[in-house]
């Protein structure tokens, strides 16, 4: 035996001597890696049986909640901003007004800085999910793996396009502008793709479909086409625009509050107006998209719909009404302040309509916030004759809430129209007739919405849901679609009686913009909790049960505290990102003051348009 | 102190801090932070003021075939599987429904034999005819029904028998599945698991882990 082993040893030695050095190193490393491989094999066996891992202290569910919320909110901003940034660029290109191009560039600057942080949180979320929920992730990976690849490709395409779009902004002017706009289009196309692919994973969890036979691609495609996928896609697309608009508005609001020069105040006042306008513009169709989503949820699984609207989440919708109400009030208040402070002299002529609108909004909000059932003691319930209050009970049902939501949308739309028309005198011969028709249509629409709402109490629910509610939405939509072009036509030939004055808004306007943004963030957090909790104790509704310690859905108070924490963290995160993004501007502003040489420092991509222009003009002045 | 009371105190502190910042701090950015804190604290306090209801998960049901004494017991297990692990109710309804994506199963146990039901569940493509409507080579209509005995649903033979028993009972038919048949199929299943245990420990452990609701 000894000799045999000796022979073997010498053979090994000679073999080793003949081996090239690189192979020796590879063999050495392989030997070193053996324990690791063995451990990995052991881990694989163990991993197959591990369903959950926990994080001490905070708990796995809470940690995922925070990270997922931050990622989703950042992603909402990153996917929403390119939409209106691109539209703004088109407006600038068509009207040849440089300020729109500058604004679009400023939007994109914020987007670029937020993009990396979004991806970072996405990565952290993925690692946490793989580590903390291995069983669920294995199931979803098995179901959706081909779509993961598509997602990666879309992400690569989005990143490359964003680089070209942002860094090529100054270069692609003049003849090259059309190509730049095409890049903007691609950016949005990929961004929408990036949004809808993961939406399919999340909506599959809420409304899974049975996946038949087929290859991996066919199975993934079948799973993606689940009933709530497109309602959520549309809802999120609009909500992202709203979020982006109000966040940009809040950014402008804070910059306005911090502004030291008149130019800055004017610029950020205007930017705040645009942000608020975009937010309101998106907010008007958002309740309709939400209604469609809820309708699909009910159609998919009535129990899930009842859990949301009438079960343990019912009070959540009262909180939602409160947040939406404050948002509507905030957005309208900002418009009204605009009329008062930007258009001197109009405050008196619009005082009465503003007061009437405020009263209508508050009444509508009161109805929207009325709960269906009240928390009452037995004695109180006996006095009321049941849990439904005899007077308020009628406002707690969906028919009343749909009606007031539509009225609030109408009022907000009219606030915008009023702001648009303020300080202008129509000169067209048909202006009087057009205004009379518009007033008549508005009155008919309001009456029709109310009549349908009241009639809704006396018909079966299915008739109300399928016809009456849809008709209410169509009526309001008709008003918006007809009034906007008609007003634009009226104002085309109108003469300006009072020039718009920017930078004169009071301090509370800045706070109002911040409040609107906080309301939208809270709303998104609240509805995210609703969507997730509607699955109750299922990871995948009816398919994979949550057997972890966190299978319960927390009560509203605890959840709201978490939402507030998430909102605060998000606000700080965004403030930090924007602060970093504007450091370059500050440096350049200082340079402009200090540098007194022709040609100075070159304008870098990312500089605020106003600052860049100030810098150029400063240099030119120095030349003179 | 209850969780709600603790959160209320935290909320009040946050609002108070916000008010103090707004009253005494001049720095505009800090004032905005104070304002945001005030809004968020108020929101939390309002949310803590509404009825606090948590949704607790129901207990996990274990199906123990050893306790099955009659076909009715089997049907009640089948009913639970129909609405849970089997995922049948994701697409099928029992009685007319607007939301059902696949045929209504009301009375199906009376219309189809036990063998046909079993085949429909395990070979859904078996009786689907070819599509000759196109000029190209005739193709099979894709069945929307998945193989119920394969992943991801993967019902075991005793579970499928239980579902059939439920369908028959729900249709007012006498249950043709015998308890002995189910026990026999259960033994077959156990033997298969044992064979798998001897050959591949990893895959077996997975099968066992997955079979939470399996008998």
A200 and A324 together in one domain: no
Query: Is A579 a member of any domain?
Result: no
Q: What is the rounded distance in angstroms from the CA atom of residue A434 to the CA atom of residue A427? A: 12
Q: Determine the residue of chain A that is closest to B99 in CA distance.
A: A299
Q: What is the rounded distance in angstroms from the CA atom of residue B130 to the CA atom of residue B142? A: 10
pLDDT at B81: 87
Q: Whose structure tokens read 């793996």?
A: A145
A43 and A64 together in one domain: no
Q: What is the pLDDT of residues B145-174, one digit of tens each?
A: 778 887 667 788 888 999 999 999 999 889
How much of chain B is in helix, strand and coil states, percent to nearest 5?
A: 55, 0, 40
A218, A222, A225, A219: which is closest to A199 by C-alpha?
Answer: A225
Q: What is the rounded distance in angstroms from the CA atom of residue B168 to the CA atom of residue A122? A: 49
Among partner residues B52, B147, B205, which is closest to A556 by beta-carbon distance?
Answer: B52
Among partner residues A51, A315, A511, which is closest to B35 by beta-carbon distance?
Answer: A511
Residue A547 sits at the chain B interface (C-beta within 8 Å): yes
Query: 3-state class of A269 per DSSP?
Result: helix
Buried b (16+ CB within 10 A) or exposed e, B183-194: eebbeebeeebe
Q: What is the rounded distance in angstroms from the CA atom of residue A531 to the CA atom of residue A464? A: 24
A114 and A218 together in one domain: yes
Q: Whose structure tokens read 């202290």?
A: A57
Q: Give the bridge partners for A545, in sequence order.
A: A538
pLDDT at A143: 92
- Chain A CB contacts of B3 under 8 Å are 558
A548 and A498 together in one domain: yes
A495: exposed, middle or buried (Cβ count in 10 Å: 0-12, 13-18, 19+): exposed
Query: Is A269 a member of any domain?
Result: no
Q: Whose structure tokens read 């600052």?
A: A611
A108 and A215 together in one domain: yes
A531 and A422 together in one domain: yes
- B17 pLDDT more than 90: yes
Query: 3-state class of B105 per DSSP?
Result: coil
Which segments of chain A have a pLDDT < 50? 1-10, 12, 15-16, 21-23, 25-42, 44, 596-624
Question: What are the angstrom distances between the C-alpha of B16 and each of A495, A621, B132, B166?
Answer: 50, 51, 76, 61
Given an 8 Å threshold on Cβ–Cβ distance, is B36 in contact with A518?
A: yes
| Residue B25 in tokens | 């701090």
Query: Is A364 a member of any domain?
Result: yes
Q: Determine the residue of chain A that is closest to B50 in CA distance.
A: A315
| Residue A265 in tokens | 């105040």
The domain defined by B65-210 folds into Cytochrome Bc1 Complex; Chain D, domain 2 (1.10.760)
Q: What is the rounded distance in angstroms from the CA atom of residue A121 to the CA atom of residue B180? A: 56
- B144 pLDDT more than 80: no
| Residue A27 in tokens | 């063999």
Interacting residues of A619 by C-beta distance below 8 A, sequence separation 6+: A592, A598, A599, A600
A25 and A139 together in one domain: no
Rg of chain B over Cα atoms, rounded to whole angstroms, equals 28
A420 and A513 together in one domain: yes
A421, A481, A418: which is closest to A445 by C-alpha?
Answer: A481
Q: Which domain holds residue A62?
A: 54-226
Q: What is the ipTM, given to two decimal places?
A: 0.82
- Residues written for chain B: 215
pLDDT at A563: 95
- Chain A CB contacts of B202 under 8 Å are 44-45, 48
Given an 8 Å threshold on Cβ–Cβ distance, is A139 in contact with B209?
A: no
Average pLDDT over residues B9-37: 95
pLDDT at A298: 82
Q: How many A/B residue pairs have CB atoms within 8 Å?
A: 154
A31 and A60 together in one domain: no
User: What is the tally of structural domains in chain A?
Assistant: 3
Q: Determine the residue of chain A that is closest to B88 in CA distance.
A: A210
Q: Give the bridge partners for A538, in sequence order.
A: A545
Query: Is A171 a member of any domain?
Result: yes
A124 and A167 together in one domain: yes
What distance separates the 2 farthest-apart alpha carbons in chain A? Answer: 117
């Amino acid at each position: 035996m000894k000799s045999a082993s000796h022979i073997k040893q010498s053979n090994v030695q000679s073999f080793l001597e003949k081996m090239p050095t690189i192979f020796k190193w590879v063999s050495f490393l392989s030997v070193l890696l053996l324990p690791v491989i063995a451990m990995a094999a052991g881990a694989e066996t163990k991993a197959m049986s591990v369903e959950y891992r926990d994080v001490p202290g905070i708990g796995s569910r809470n940690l995922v909640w925070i990270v997922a919320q931050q990622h989703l909110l950042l992603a909402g901003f990153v996917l929403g901003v390119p939409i209106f940034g691109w539209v703004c660029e088109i407006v600038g290109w068509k009207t040849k007004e440089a300020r729109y191009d500058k604004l679009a560039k400023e939007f994109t600057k914020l987007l670029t800085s937020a993009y990396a942080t979004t991806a970072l949180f996405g990565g952290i979320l993925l690692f946490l999910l793989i580590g903390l929920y291995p069983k669920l992730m294995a199931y979803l990976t098995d179901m959706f793996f081909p779509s993961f690849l598509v997602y990666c490709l879309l992400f690569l395409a989005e990143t490359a396009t964003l680089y070209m779009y942002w860094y090529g902004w100054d270069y692609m002017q003049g003849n090259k502008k059309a190509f730049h706009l095409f890049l903007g289009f691609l950016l949005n196309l990929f961004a929408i793709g990036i949004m809808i692919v993961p939406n399919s994973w999340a909506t599959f969890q809420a409304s899974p479909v049975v996946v038949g036979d087929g290859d991996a691609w066919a199975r993934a495609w079948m799973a993606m086409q689940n009933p709530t996928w497109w309602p959520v896609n549309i809802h999120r697309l609009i909500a992202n625009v709203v979020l982006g608009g109000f966040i940009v508005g809040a950014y402008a609001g804070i910059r306005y509050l911090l502004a030291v020069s008149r130019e800055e105040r004017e610029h950020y006042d205007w930017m705040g107006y645009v942000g608020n306008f975009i937010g309101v513009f998106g907010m008007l169709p958002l309740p309709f998209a939400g209604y469609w989503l809820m309708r699909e949820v009910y159609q998919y699984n009535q129990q899930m719909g009842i859990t949301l609207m009438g079960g343990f989440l019912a009070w959540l919708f009262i909180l939602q009404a409160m947040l939406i109400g404050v948002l509507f009030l905030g957005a309208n208040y900002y418009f009204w302040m605009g009329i008062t402070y930007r258009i001197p002299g109009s405050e008196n002529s619009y005082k009465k309509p503003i007061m009437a609108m405020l009263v209508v909004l508050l009444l509508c909000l009161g109805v929207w916030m009325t709960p269906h059932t009240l928390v009452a003691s037995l004695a109180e319930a006996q006095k009321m004759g049941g849990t439904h209050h005899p007077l308020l009970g009628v406002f707690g049902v969906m028919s009343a809430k749909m009606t007031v939501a539509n009225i609030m949308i109408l009022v907000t739309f009219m606030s915008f129209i009023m702001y648009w028309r303020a300080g202008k005198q129509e000169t067209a011969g048909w202006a009087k007739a057009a205004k009379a028709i518009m007033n008549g249509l508005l009155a008919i629409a309001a009456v029709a919405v109310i009549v349908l709402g009241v009639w809704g109490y006396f018909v079966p629910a299915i008739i109300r849901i399928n016809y009456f509610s849809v008709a209410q939405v169509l009526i309001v939509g008709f008003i918006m679609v007809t009034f906007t072009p008609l007003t634009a036509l009226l104002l085309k030939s109108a003469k300006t009686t009072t020039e718009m004055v920017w930078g004169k808004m009071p301090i509370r306007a800045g706070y109002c913009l911040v409040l609107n943004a906080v309301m939208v963030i809270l709303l998104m957090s609240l509805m995210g909790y609703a969507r997730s909790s509607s699955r109750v104790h299922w990871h995948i509704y009816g398919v994979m049960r949550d057997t972890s310690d966190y299978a319960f859905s927390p009560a509203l108070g605890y959840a709201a505290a978490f939402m507030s924490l998430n909102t605060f963290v998000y606000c700080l995160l965004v403030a930090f990102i924007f602060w970093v993004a504007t450091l370059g501007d500050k440096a350049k502003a200082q340079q402009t003051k200090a540098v007194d040489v022709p040609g100075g420092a070159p304008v870098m991509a990312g500089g605020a348009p106003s600052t860049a222009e100030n810098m150029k003009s400063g240099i030119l002045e120095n030349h003179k | 102190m209850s969780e709600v009371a603790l959160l209320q105190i935290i909320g009040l502190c946050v609002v108070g801090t916000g008010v103090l910042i707004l009253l005494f701090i001049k720095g505009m950015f800090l004032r905005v932070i104070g304002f945001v804190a005030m809004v968020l604290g108020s929101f939390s306090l309002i949310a803590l003021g509404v009825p606090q209801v948590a949704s607790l998960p129901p207990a996990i049901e274990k199906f123990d075939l050893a306790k099955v004494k009659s076909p009715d017991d089997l049907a009640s297990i089948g009913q639970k599987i129909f609405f849970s692990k089997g995922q049948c109710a994701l697409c099928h309804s029992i009685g007319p429904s607007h939301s059902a994506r696949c045929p209504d199963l009301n009375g199906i146990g009376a219309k189809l034999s036990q063998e046909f039901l079993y085949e429909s569940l395990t070979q859904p493509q078996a009786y689907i005819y070819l599509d000759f409507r196109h000029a190209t080579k005739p193709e099979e209509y894709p069945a929307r029904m998945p193989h119920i005995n394969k992943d991801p649903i993967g019902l075991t033979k005793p579970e499928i028998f239980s579902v059939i028993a439920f369908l028959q009972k729900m249709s007012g038919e006498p249950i043709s599945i015998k308890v002995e048949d189910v026990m026999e199929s259960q033994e077959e299943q156990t033997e298969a698991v044992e064979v798998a245990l001897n050959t591949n420990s990893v895959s077996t452990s997975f099968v066992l882990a997955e079979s939470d609701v399996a008998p």
